[in-house]
Amino acid sequence: MKTILVTGSAGFIGFHLSKKLLSEGHKVIGIDNINDYYDPKLKRDRLENLEEFVKKNTIDEKYDFFKLDISDEDKLFNIFKSHNIEIVVNLAAQAGVRYSLQNPKQYVSSNLVGFVNILECCRHFNIQHLMFASSSSVYGMNIKQPFSTIDNTDYPISLYAATKKSNELLAYSYSHLFDLPCTGLRFFTVYGPFGRPDMAYYKFTEAIIKDKPIKLYNKGDMKRDFTYIDDIIDAMKRLIDKSPPLPQSFTVTKSEAPFKVFNIGNNEPVSLSRFIKAIETVLGKNAIKEFLPMQAGDVPITFADVDELRDFCGYTPDTSIEDGIERFVRWYIDRNDKK
């Protein structure tokens, strides 16, 4: 069993990953700054759920949580110094394409300064494997489908995407210079229970229940490679103990480094109409639709090529949008009934 640091552990993916790792006997060190990008109560509820899980299974010695920001170099260094951390999963980041238009400095602080702090700690404390969150947004307006990790990603169309591309470049340089095994994860529209309330599926469910209109950008002509949270966690679990090997050969344009980037998607883009229909079916209500033009920084379609990930670790997503949405909506209704 490993001692694993999960940054952003009060976030959507971090919460689910921490719970899975604990259930498998790993020791988890969780950190999160509990910022107010969205309602901090949801983050605190995730932490409370995680703490209840720990107590129920009498594994208190397996879990420690610290409230801190990864941009705080000294406090982050002390966490590494005081714990025998073997693997790091960096999920702490300022998320959201649209919010990056309003608050760019927050993205610089968390996604750039914070990430360099993580890399420096990994370097100095001989971490066995760093996994870090990237994003499908790095593909920008790429018209080739599906998106492949060998595609050019030099033209991000949002600051958020630019910071995630920068994370990949920074990680590659540290991997090459210091033999630090690094795996980047390009997530494709993750959804499910305890998900982020700024995401479309969350907003749509709330609006339909309250008989309010839902906003459909690009006049509804959108497709997304929605990936259910359990499939995401399955992929991450497979990759944690399978750090990228050192390549056996290299070229003048690609030096040796134990570094890989993978798409983490469902490999099936779903139309917005099918997505909304899935929510309507579970709720037994039709949506009121408001059609709007495309927003700056957004793209009309995302589609993940996951063949490389499948070959590397046997990843096979198997949750349909209908099944995943039903699980989320049931959770959403139950959560609100308890308020």
Question: Residues 154, 70, 237, CA angle at the centre, nearest 5°?
Answer: 75
**89: helix, coil or strand?**
strand
- Supply the Cα-derived Rg of the chain in whole angstroms: 20
Inter-CA distances, 113 with 7, 17, 25, 35, Å? 14, 24, 32, 16
38, 63, 107, 160: which one is catalytic?
160
160 is catalytic: yes
**Could you tell me if 119 and 88 are in contact, meaning their C-beta atoms sit under 8 angstroms apart?**
no
Instruction: Select from 64, 120, 54 the least CA-distant residue to 90.
Output: 120
**Rounded Cα distance, 203 and 76, in Å:** 34
Would you call 134 exposed, middle or buried from its count of C-beta atoms within 10 A (0-12, 13-18, 19+)?
buried
Residue that the structure tokens 């703490």 belong to: 51
Show the beta-strand stretches assigned E in 125-251: 129-135, 182-187, 190-191, 213-216, 223-224, 227-228
| Sign of the alpha-carbon torsion through 83, 85, 89, 94 | positive
The dihedral formed by the CA atoms of 198, 200, 206 and 208, expressed in degrees to the nearest 10: 160
Structure tokens at 80: 């590494």
**Could you tell me if 275 and 226 are in contact, meaning their C-beta atoms sit under 8 angstroms apart?**
yes
Q: Which residues are catalytic?
A: 160
